[in-house]
Amino acid sequence: GAGVSQSPRYKVAKRGQDVALRCDPISGHVSLFWYQQALGQGPEFLTYFQNEAQLDKSGLPSDRFFAERPEGSVSTLKIQRTQQEDSAVYLCASSLVVGSNPGANVLTFGAGSRLTVL
Amino acid sequence: GENVEQHPSTLSVQEGDSAVIKCTYSDSASNYFPWYKQELGKGPQLIIDIRSNVGEKKDQRIAVTLNKTAKHFSLHITETQPEDSAVYFCAASKGNAGNMLTFGGGTRLMVKP
């Protein structure tokens, strides 16, 4: 696709419900990231995939958060037993290459999924 | 880990004036510094970036400067226009792990016509 596509754009969940957020990266992009953006703050790293391998999940706030990218393209971020503090915009980003030239690894972000937990 | 501080948090300027946003970073191994613009309801969009082997980069009305010794970098927007109004984020990366970015807290820029 032309850009990074995320769905749903908006999700309202009752506390305790499970949610799944989907990311369709740009076709052929190797790297995929999930970020969490609380209201009025900068994005914070959650997890990183290189193809289907989850190489870094150090930013996931608890074991209620789980991400996967089984075929190296589409990724899903799942949050179990949602809490009010999970309310945020969840951003997905992808980049084309893996390598030591950071200028070539420009991250392109999707529009995000806004999660509101009541 | 890396820590990026950004100032000011809000900035209001008159149309046609210049705007400057400043960021500092903590990890001397960081070597890539992008700036993103985020409009309401949208994801961050890259507007300019700079690598550590360059001190300054300019693209039309936008310029970024980098001082590696002091570990700070700045975004300069000249001849501001109302459509420049948005939230701007600086970020830093060591270029590893697929270019994982650490973001600053953001600056809300308001350009008054």
Q: What is the pLDDT of residue A67?
A: 98
Q: Starting at the edge strand that comes first in sequence, how are the strands of the sheet with B56-59 ordered?
A: B4-7, B19-25, B72-77, B62-67, B56-59
Burial of A63 (0-12, 13-18, 19+ CB in 10 A): exposed
Task: Find chain B residues with C-beta within 8 A of A43's C-beta.
Answer: 44, 89, 101, 103
For B5-29, how does the pLDDT look when each residue is reduced to its tens digit (9 = 90+)?
999 999 999 999 999 999 999 999 9
Q: What is the pLDDT of residue A27?
A: 92
Residue of A nearest to B43 (CA): A111
**Residue A1 pLDDT exceeds 60:** no
Q: Which of the pair, A56 or A105, is modelled with greater confidence?
A: A56
Q: What is the pLDDT of residue A93?
A: 95
If you count DSSP H runs as helices and E runs as strands, how many of each does chain A have, helices first? 0, 11
CB–CB contact B106 A42 (8 Å): yes
For B66-81, how does the pLDDT look when each residue is reduced to its tens digit (9 = 90+)?
999 999 999 999 999 9
What distance in Å separates the CA atoms of residue A72 and residue A83, rounded to the nearest whole number?
29
Q: What is the pLDDT of residue A104?
A: 62
Q: Which residues of A touch B (CB under 8 A)?
A: 4, 30-31, 33, 35, 40-45, 48, 50, 55-56, 91, 93, 95, 98, 100-103, 105-112
Q: What is the pLDDT of residue B40?
A: 92
B30 at A interface, C-beta within 8 A: no
B68 at A interface, C-beta within 8 A: no
Of the pLDDT bands very low, low, confident and very high (cuts 50, 70, 90), residue B49 is very high
Task: Find chain A residues with C-beta within 8 A of B93's C-beta.
Answer: 102
Task: Find chain A residues with C-beta within 8 A of B104's C-beta.
Answer: 42
For A38-81, how does the pLDDT look when each residue is reduced to its tens digit (9 = 90+)?
999 999 999 999 999 999 999 999 999 999 999 999 999 999 99
Q: What is the pLDDT of residue B100?
A: 83
For B98-109, how does the pLDDT look when each residue is reduced to its tens digit (9 = 90+)?
678 999 999 999
Q: What is the pLDDT of residue B82?
A: 96
Task: Find chain A residues with C-beta within 8 A of B54's C-beta.
Answer: none
Task: Report the amino acid identity of residue B11.
Answer: L
